[in-house]
């Protein structure tokens, strides 16, 4: 969907003369010079304007310029290894990259599936590679494996999400961004010789729309040649019948289409990994030594390791990166944006409806926040009221008690007052009697004196 630039009318005449035909415009009479999307130019000029050059111009060095720029920037490659514990993932990585990546053996007692990403800086001639190997620890060890695939899917989605966030930023630096999106998932199939396990099918089905999958048969030296052939056919037919999309090596470029097509027929690759060197003849080769013979890793009749290395690294690494970006990431992005509520603009709407929708969402979110705040405040107020009521109740009780006590006290006081009055009265009465008695005795002492005189 291209934007039309409105150009002055004089240009319209020029356009018509340019292409030597009268151009009937279909959209509102305003014809503009489009920003030259290739398809648009072809629309009004059927023959492509192909020019032959009169001499050596020199832009054939463009691919070289592009490549040298990439060399200075360095490359990123991320591999995800999915397989049961002990199936040989770490050994295979060591063998593939001819490096002893440090890793401890995982225990079988994890209570869930963990993803363990490790990043290494490798260099070969002038090429610097930032390699990230993600290991699934604990895969297939649990008793209940229903949720085993979830951490893997979550990890892949998180990497896409991080890239999407970076891409949507206003100030972004995509060129310095350390790309952690998984470019290839190596799915290790246990060498039972029979068929895929249901865990394998379920996991691969969940992963096939998110990442490029290459299934490989691990520890292939435990299967004989004939069994292997049957096993491979069985696996491929099961994958097809369950609709699992594994990565197909691209056959559109003539230089590699042949080798890729032939390799497609050898999937899944039966690999053996080893870093130990064994002397065979007068050479030292990487191999596994058994009492009955030596399994050579790089011998194509022994296992498919060379094919895997060829396909994964030497022929299709760039294509894997491109598929991840152009197909899986775009799918994720589309789903995520649609889920967030964005729609593509229709020709009549304002530009950046992305922004407007975002603003609308933002308002919504702020509204939500405010509502939540209100709720919390309400709750708080209610709680406060409750406690206040309780406190008031208690206060009232206390008051009552106080009143009661006061009353009692008053009662007592009254009683005591009464008693005191009684007592006073008694005392008064007694005093009166005493006075009376005294006055009586005063008049008596004359008699008494008389008595005394006697």
Partner 1 sequence: MSEAVLPDAVVSPAVGGLYGEKAGGPVLDFSYVGIDAILEQMRRKAMKQGFELNIMVVGQSGLGKSTLMNTLFKSKVSRKSVLATAQEKIPKTVEIKSISHDIEEKGVRMKLTVIDTPGFGDQINNENCWQPIMKFINDQYEAYLQEEININRKKRIPDSRVHCCIYFIPPTGHCLRPLDVEFMRRLSKVVNIVPVIAKADTLTLEERDFFKKKIREELRANGIDVYPQKEFDEDAEDRMINEKIREMIPFAVVGSDQEYQVNGRRLLGRKTKWGTIEVENIAHCEFAYLRDLLIRTHMQNIKDITSSIHYEMYRVRRLNENNTMVAHANGIPEHHLAAHEM
CB proximity list for 118: less than 8 A, separation 6 or greater: 101, 103, 132, 133, 134, 135
Which of 188, 171, 153 is closest to 328 using CA atoms? 153
332 binds partner 1 (CB under 8 A): no
Q: Specify the 3-state DSSP secondary structure of 291.
A: coil
Separation CA 286–CA 109 (nearest Å): 32
Applying CB under 8 A, among 351, 442, 446, 454 the residue interacting with partner 1 is 351
Cβ closest to partner 1, residue 85 vs residue 232: 85
Residues numbered 157 to 176 that lie near partner 1 (CB under 8 A) are 158, 165, 168-172, 175
Name the residue nearer to partner 1 (CB basis): 64 or 454. Answer: 64
Near partner 1 in 365-394, by CB under 8 A? none
Shortest distance in whole angstroms from residue 86 CB to partner 1: 18
Where helices occur in 139-197 by DSSP H, the ranges are 149-168
* Contact between 11 and partner 1 per CB under 8 A: yes
Using the contact rule CB under 8 A, the part of the chain among 32-40, 85-93, 195-203, 416-424 near partner 1 is 32-40
Q: Nearest approach, Cβ of 121 to partner 1 (angstroms)?
A: 6
36 forms part of the interface with partner 1 (CB under 8 A): yes
Q: Quick one: which of 22, 46, 64, 346 contacts partner 1 (CB under 8 A)?
A: 64
Interface residue with partner 1 among 24, 27, 67, 291 (CB under 8 A) is 67
- Which one, 196 or 287, has the nearer CB to partner 1? 287
Query: How many other CB atoms are found less than 10 A from the CB of residue 13?
Result: 11
The yes or no reply on residue 355 touching partner 1 (CB under 8 A) is: yes
Query: What are the start-end ranges of the E strands in 291-352?
Result: 293-296
Of 59, 109, 290, 292, which lies in the binding site for partner 1, with binding defined by CB under 8 A? 59
Q: Which residue has the tokens 């006081």?
A: 413
Nearer to partner 1 (CB atom), residue 155 or residue 231: 155
Q: In this chain, which of 258, 300, 318, 368 binds partner 1, going by CB under 8 A?
A: 318
Instruction: Name every residue whose Cβ is closer than 8 Å to that of residue 186 and which is 6 or more positions away in sequence.
Output: 79, 80, 81, 82, 83, 89, 92, 214, 216
Q: Is 348 in the site for partner 1 (CB under 8 A)?
A: no
Q: Are 13 and 41 in contact (CB under 8 A)?
A: no
Q: Does position 265 bind partner 1 by CB under 8 A?
A: no
How far out from the chain centre does Cα 303 lie? 37
Q: How far apart are CA 181 and CA 164, in angstroms?
A: 11
Q: CA nearest 332: which of 167, 203, 110, 176? A: 167
Q: Cβ(231)–Cβ(200) under 8 Å?
A: no
Q: Interface with partner 1 includes 279 (CB under 8 A)?
A: no
The H-or-E segment that residue 207 falls in is: helix 198-207
User: In terms of CB distance, is 162 or 222 closer to partner 1?
Assistant: 162
The single-letter DSSP state of residue 328 is I
Nearer to partner 1, 289 or 345 (CB): 345
* 22 vs 253 by CB, closer to partner 1: 253
Candidate residues 63, 243, 291, 347; the one interacting with partner 1 per rule CB under 8 A: 63
Short-list 154, 183, 152, CA closest to 82 = 152
Among 206, 86, 106, smallest CA distance to 148 is for 206
Q: Which stretch binds partner 1 (CB under 8 A): 47-55, 231-239, 390-398, 417-425?
A: 47-55
Q: How near is the Cβ of 252 to partner 1 at its closest, in Å?
A: 8
Is residue 280 close enough to count as binding partner 1 by CB under 8 A?
no
**Strand 277-280 to 213-217 pairing:** unpaired
Q: How far is the CB of 291 from partner 1 (least distance, A)?
A: 24
Nearest to 189 by CA among 213, 217, 220: 217
Angle between helices 149-168 and 198-207 (to 10 degrees): 10
Q: Does 333 bind partner 1 (CB under 8 A)?
A: yes
* Residues 84-103 interacting with partner 1 (rule: CB under 8 A): 96-100, 102
Which DSSP letter does residue 220 get? G
137 binds partner 1 (CB under 8 A): yes
Indicate which single residue of 263, 295, 319, 332 sits in contact with partner 1 (rule: CB under 8 A). 319
Would you call the peptide bond into 268 cis, given omega within 30 degrees of 0 as the criterion? yes
202 binds partner 1 (CB under 8 A): no
Is 58 a binder of partner 1 (CB under 8 A)? yes
Q: Rule CB under 8 A: is residue 243 a binding residue for partner 1? A: no
In the complex with partner 1, which residue's Cβ is closer, 196 or 203? Answer: 203
Which C-beta is closer to partner 1: that of 27 or that of 443? 27
Q: Tell me, residue by residue from 282 to 301, as one string, x for binding to partner 1 by CB under 8 A and - for no binding.
A: ---xx-----------x---
């Amino acid at each position: 969907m291209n934007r039309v630039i409105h150009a002055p009318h004089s240009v319209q005449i020029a356009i018509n003369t340019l292409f030597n035909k009268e151009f009937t415009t279909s959209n509102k009479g305003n014809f503009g010079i489009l920003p030259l999307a290739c398809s648009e130019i072809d629309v009004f000029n059927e023959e492509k304007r192909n020019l032959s050059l009169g001499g050596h111009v020199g832009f054939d060095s463009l691919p070289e310029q592009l490549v040298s720029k990439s060399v200075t920037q360095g490359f990123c490659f991320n591999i995800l290894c999915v397989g049961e514990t002990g199936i040989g993932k770490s050994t295979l990585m060591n063998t593939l990259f001819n490096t002893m990546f440090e890793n401890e053996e995982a225990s079988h007692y994890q209570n869930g599936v963990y993803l363990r990403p490790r990043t290494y800086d490798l260099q070969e001639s002038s090429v610097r590679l930032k390699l990230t190997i993600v290991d699934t620890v604990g895969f297939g060890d649990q008793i209940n494996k229903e949720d085993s695939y979830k951490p893997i899917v979550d990890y892949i989605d998180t990497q896409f999400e991080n890239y999407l966030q970076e891409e949507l930023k206003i100030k972004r630096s995509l060129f310095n961004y350390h790309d952690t999106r998984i470019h290839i998932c190596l799915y290790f199939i246990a060498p039972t010789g029979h068929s895929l396990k249901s865990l394998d099918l379920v996991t691969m089905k969940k992963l096939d729309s998110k990442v490029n999958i290459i299934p490989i048969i691990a520890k292939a030296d435990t299967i004989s040649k004939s069994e292997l052939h049957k096993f491979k056919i069985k696996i491929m037919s099961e994958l097809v019948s369950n609709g699992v999309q594994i990565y197909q090596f691209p056959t559109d470029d003539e230089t590699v289409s042949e080798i890729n097509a032939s390799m497609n027929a050898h999937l899944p690759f039966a690999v053996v990994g080893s870093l130990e060197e064994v002397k065979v003849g007068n050479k030292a080769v990487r191999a596994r030594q058994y009492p009955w013979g030596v399994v050579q890793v790089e011998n194509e009749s022994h296992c498919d390791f060379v094919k895997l290395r060829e396909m994964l690294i030497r022929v299709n690494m760039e294509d894997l990166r491109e598929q991840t970006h152009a197909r899986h990431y775009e799918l994720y992005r589309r789903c995520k944006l649609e889920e967030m509520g964005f729609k593509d603009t229709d020709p009549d709407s304002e530009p950046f409806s992305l922004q407007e929708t975002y603003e609308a969402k933002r308002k919504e979110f702020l509204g939500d926040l405010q509502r939540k705040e209100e709720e919390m405040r309400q709750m708080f107020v209610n709680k406060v009221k409750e406690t206040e009521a309780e406190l008031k109740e208690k206060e009232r009780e206390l008051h009552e008690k106080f009143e009661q006590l006061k009353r009692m006290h008053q009662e007592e006081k009254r009683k005591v007052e009464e008693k005191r009055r009684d007592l006073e009265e008694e005392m008064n009465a007694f005093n009166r009697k005493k006075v009376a008695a005294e006055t009586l005795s005063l008049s008596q002492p004359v008699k008494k004196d008389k008595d005394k005189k006697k």
